[in-house]
Structure 1
Amino acid sequence: MYIAMNRFRVRPECTGEFEQRWLERDVLLKTVPGFVSFQFLRGPAREDHVLFASHTVWASHAAFGAWTQSEQFRQAHAQTGQGKVLTIGPPIFEGFDVLQDITGQD
């Protein structure tokens, strides 16, 4: 398994608009082989920003790599960088190979 995260430092006055952009966009991940799950996360507020993250779980690093080369990826990111700037700097990418995965019981 592989986890891909992008961390965003969002200007405090822009959090509502940032959330709206994410929650109203088309989700194409479900159509990509190897996709497992996605979470959109809001973290702690700091003096100059609120931390947000996109968190995706993939069957493998190769599946994630294939997503980044796919037409769905191009479509999903076509509007990136357009409109009002809501963040402080670009997103920070972090990728992780899963060494252990413990899940709850049904």
Structure 2
Amino acid sequence: MDGLSRHEELGEPLSLVIPFIDRPKVPELVLIYNILEEIAESHRNLRRKTEQKMQRKNVQHEWAKVFSRFDYFFLFIFELLNMAALAVFLRVAWLPTPELREQIL
């Protein structure tokens, strides 16, 4: 456990766990207790949001890796096609030019 009680892990506020008889009779203590509950709840919410942001960041990082691999793959294919076009051009470039016909129909 990382400092959370069993009830906090379940998401139950402590005010529901502590029976009414065990609550302090001093109103200031109840006020302090309620403030501490609010602080604990806001801390849990902040931690949950931070974990969600980290999860989103990890997912975005994984997708960036996938798309970079796609980029490299398509770059490789493009360069192969360029090499094939260059080979065809160089093969045809040194062929003798055909003679022109006297009359073009």
More strand by share: 1
More helix by share: 2
**Which gives a bigger RCO, structure 1 or 2 (Cα 8 Å, sep 6+)?**
1
Give the shorter-chain TM-score range.
under 0.3
Larger Rg over CA atoms: 2
Please report the TM-score for the alignment, with normalisation by the length of structure 2.
0.22
